[in-house]
Every structure is written in C-alpha cells, then in structure tokens.
C-alpha cells in the first residue's frame, strides 16, 4: 500500500528495519492486550506536513500564526471525542497516556495531596502510584485491591474504609491488567462522602466504551476520564483527557499547556480525529463486541483445558494466565517460547505475585489486534491450540519450527490493514 521509495533512497537502514517490522506484524499473531493495527487512513493522517507546524495553545487561541488548518483538525478531534464519550470537554493534546495522567493530577491536586488507585499487582498502572515513578515524590498514593481474586470483585468496603481514613483528593478507577468490569457507581458514592474527584483511566478499554460494550464512567457521574488513543480505540499513539463538565476541562487545558507540554503534535491530532471518526461508525460497535466475544471464547477455551486464569474469566478484551499454576513455568518462559513461534504477548504479575516484576508468574494476552484482522471464535480455538502446543513442545526445537510455519501460514489468511 505505502511504497516508502523516498525512505529507501535516503536511509536504507531505516527502510529495511521498517520492512522487517511490517513482515513481523503480518506474519505473526499479536496478542499484547494494549496493541492494535490502525487503518490506512489513520496511518496517512499521522505522517504528513502537519508535522512541520507549531501550534501552542488551543483552537482560536494560539501563540503562532498560520493556524487555519490546524484549528480545523483539532476542533474536529475535540468534537468527535466529546460525542464518542458523551463528554463536556476534551483535551486531545497529551502526547501519551502517562503525560495525560500527570497533567490530570496537577490539574486537580496540590503537592502532598493523596490519590487512591488500584494496586499494580492487582492490575493498576505505574502512573497510579507505583514507587518507581517520580509522581510518588510529589503526591501520596494509597491503594485498593480485589476482594476476591477468584471473581475479580474489587474490595469496595476496604476502599471506603481507606477513603474515610486517608481523605484522597482523587479516587482513581482503571487498570492495565484487570479483566473485569468496575462498579463506577459504588466508587462515585464513596468519593461523594469525602468530596473527592472521580477519575477513570480507561486507556485499555476506551474502544470498548466508545463501542458501547462496556459502561461509560461518565454515566455514573465520574468527573474525568484519561486515556490513550492507540489501544482498543485503534487510533494513533497518544493520550487524551475528557471531563464530564465543561468547566473542569479548563483546568485540564491549563495543565496540559502551558503546564506540562509545549507544541502539540498536530499530525497525531489529525490521526486522532480520523480514528474518532471511525469509532463513531456503527461498524466500530460490532468490532468492540467481537473483541469481547473473542476474549471470552479464548478464556473458556483455556479454562476447559484446566489453564488457570486470574479471576477465572474475563469481561473485557484481556485475560491473565497464571503460568506457574497452569504449566509449572514462569510467565517469561511462556513469553519467550511464544516469541519463537511468532506469537507475541507479555509476561505479567498475577495478584500478590511472589515473583519479581521482571520474572513474574503470569502472562497477559488480549484480542483487540487479532479481532482487527477479522478473526472470530473459530480462530480463537486455533490460536488456543497453537499456544498450548508451543508450551507443551517448548523443549523440542523441531516441533517449534514446524509450529512457527503453521502460525505464519495461518496469519497470511488475515491481512493486517495497510500491509498488503
């Protein structure tokens, strides 16, 4: 589709690495729960002359001239984002999810204030208060966990107890490795008792909410949503902050610019607008529904074969396998053997993991990317068989080689958008 002839002439090293990555993506199975394939239209929107433009400020209020076209794309991105998530305000400038969260924290808190978020080992994210981040030098973080790791139900009673004792300014919902739905209404009721803001970091599930398959936290009165735009939402790499009330959005705008960022990356904002336009179409709702059908089907495939899943199933696009319990090997070993046969997923902690983050007990996998390639329930059975075969034959190089070619032949039937 794209020819890249100028790139080949100017820089063969980069050209060949790009060709290698295109082949890797089309010949392999992408099961990393946070990855996806964008459409050719989104891809075209992110590589063009908008790169050449500085646009500090917001539509109609910029610090440089020449903004007639940047204003068009940023306004479209904002309006489409608001419609997609029923938001009062959208800031589409954050360069990624972590900067969106940082800008949100500084918009709502003073140094020393407290946030209550999900524990990392139970599925939370580094930016929700892990001690390795600089955020913990500025804000206090207290955590909540699941009440029952067999069902995945969050511990709302403990959450309330901690909230009353610690008086967080923000109660944060959201996760990067949690396979269940959150009861936003319960969290909002706790926040209301102490006058805290409610924020949902929905980076992983934004596309499932936009596609109307999971609940929108704004429907339960949440104040703010932060997200990335490149996971289930299937847009360019980037972030976004949404508020339910337009007034609170002003604080977010000030915090993003001039608080944290300089010039917005305009070609990415153009691509966000295109992706949001795609997500507003009815087909996207069917895509989001199929992601979840595939995920539930694959989860059942594993559980029927006595593979231990954290929370014993899934409500969304991802699942976590307890590899130590299921196969007697750590997650890293499963990740490595699947890499050898062209299947990509990531090692991951399981709740209260006794192993280290770089050598955890589990793996995380998800269905957004394979669903984009048109795979459905019957393909989930084939992929499940491939995964279990790879693990079973992990010490047999010839069996792995033969499985690798089976994986490649299978993948060729499901083209990656933009790679012919």
Q: Which residues participate in catalysis according to the annotation?
A: 54, 56, 201, 228, 231, 237
Does position 360 interact with ligand DSN (CB under 6 A)? The reply is no
Q: CB 30 → ligand DSN: shortest distance, Å?
A: 12
Nearer to ligand DSN, 243 or 346 (CB): 346
Give DSSP secondary structure letters for 299-358.
Answer: HHHHHHTTPPBGGGS-SSSEEEEEHHHHHSS-HHHHHHHHHHTTEE-EEE--TT-SSBTT
Residues 130-169, one symbol each (x = binds ligand DSN by CB under 6 A, - = not), give: ----------------------------------------
Q: CB 344 → ligand DSN: shortest distance, Å?
A: 12
Rounded to whole angstroms, how far apart are CA atoms 202 and 183? Answer: 13
Which H helix or E strand runs over 10? Answer: helix 5-10
- Antiparallel, parallel or unpaired: β 362-366 and 318-322: antiparallel
Nearer to ligand DSN, 97 or 236 (CB): 97
Q: CB 34 → ligand DSN: shortest distance, Å?
A: 3
Nearer to ligand DSN, 37 or 50 (CB): 37
- 94-133: which residues touch ligand DSN (CB under 6 A)? 97, 125
What sign does the dihedral 287-236-357-171 (CA atoms) show?
Answer: negative
Q: CB 125 → ligand DSN: shortest distance, Å?
A: 6
Rounded to whole angstroms, how far apart are CA atoms 246 and 239? Answer: 19
Interface pick for ligand DSN out of 36, 67, 176, 361 (rule CB under 6 A): 176
Neighbouring-strand partners of residue 198 = 171
Residues 277-306, one symbol each (x = binds ligand DSN by CB under 6 A, - = not), give: ------------------------------
What sign does the dihedral 216-32-122-323 (CA atoms) show?
Answer: positive
Residue 215 burial by Cβ neighbours in a 10 Å radius (0-12, 13-18, 19+): middle
Q: Is 350:360 a contact under the CB 8 Å cutoff?
A: yes
Does position 34 interact with ligand DSN (CB under 6 A)? The reply is yes
Radius of gyration for the chain, computed over Cα atoms and rounded to the nearest angstrom: 22
Q: CB 97 → ligand DSN: shortest distance, Å?
A: 6
Nearer to ligand DSN, 168 or 366 (CB): 366
Please count the residues of this chain forming the interface with ligand DSN, following the rule CB under 6 A: 4
Q: Footprint of ligand DSN on this chain (CB under 6 A)?
A: 34, 97, 125, 176
């Amino acid at each position: 589709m794209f020819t890249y002839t100028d790139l080949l002439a100017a820089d063969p090293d980069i050209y060949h690495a790009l060709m290698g990555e295109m082949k890797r993506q089309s010949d392999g199975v992408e099961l990393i729960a946070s990855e996806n394939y964008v459409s050719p239209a989104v891809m075209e929107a992110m590589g063009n002359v908008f790169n050449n433009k500085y646009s500090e400020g917001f539509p109609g209020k910029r610090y440089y001239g020449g903004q007639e076209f940047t204003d068009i794309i940023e306004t479209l991105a904002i309006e489409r984002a608001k419609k997609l998530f029923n938001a009062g305000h959208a800031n589409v400038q954050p360069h990624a999810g972590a900067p969106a969260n940082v800008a949100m924290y500084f918009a709502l808190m003073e140094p020393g204030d407290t946030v209550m978020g999900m524990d990392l080992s139970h599925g939370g994210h580094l930016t929700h208060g892990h001690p390795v981040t600089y955020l913990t030098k500025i804000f206090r973080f207290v955590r909540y966990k699941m009440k029952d790791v067999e069902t995945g139900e969050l511990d709302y009673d403990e959450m309330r107890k901690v909230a009353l004792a610690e008086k967080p300014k923000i109660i944060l919902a959201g996760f990067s490795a949690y396979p269940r739905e959150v009861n936003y209404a319960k969290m909002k009721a706790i926040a209301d008792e102490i006058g805290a803001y409610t924020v949902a970091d929905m980076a992983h599930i934004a596309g499932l909410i936009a596609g109307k398959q999971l609940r929108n936290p704004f429907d339960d009165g949440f104040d703010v949503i932060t997200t990335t735009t490149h996971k289930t939402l299937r847009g360019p790499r980037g972030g976004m902050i949404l508020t339910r009330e337009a007034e609170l959005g002003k604080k977010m705008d000030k915090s993003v610019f001039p608080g944290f960022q300089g010039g917005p990356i305009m070609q990415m904002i153009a691509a966000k607008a295109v992706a949001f336009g795609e997500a507003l179409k009815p087909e996207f709702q069917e895509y989001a529904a199929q992601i979840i059908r595939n995920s539930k089907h694959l989860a059942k495939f594993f559980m029927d074969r006595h593979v231990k899943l954290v929370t014993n199933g899934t409500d969304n696009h991802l699942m976590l396998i307890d590899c130590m319990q299921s196969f007697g090997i750590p997650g890293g070993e499963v990740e490595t053997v699947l890499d050898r046969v062209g299947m990509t997923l990531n090692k991951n902690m399981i709740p209260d993991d006794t192993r280290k983050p770089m050598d955890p007990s589990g793996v995380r996998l998800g269905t957004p990317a394979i669903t984009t390639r048109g795979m459905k329930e019957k393909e989930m059975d084939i992929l499940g068989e491939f995964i279990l075969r790879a693990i079973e034959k992990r010490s047999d190089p010839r069996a792995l080689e033969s499985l690798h070619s089976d994986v490649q032949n299978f993948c060729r039937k499901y083209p990656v958008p933009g790679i012919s």
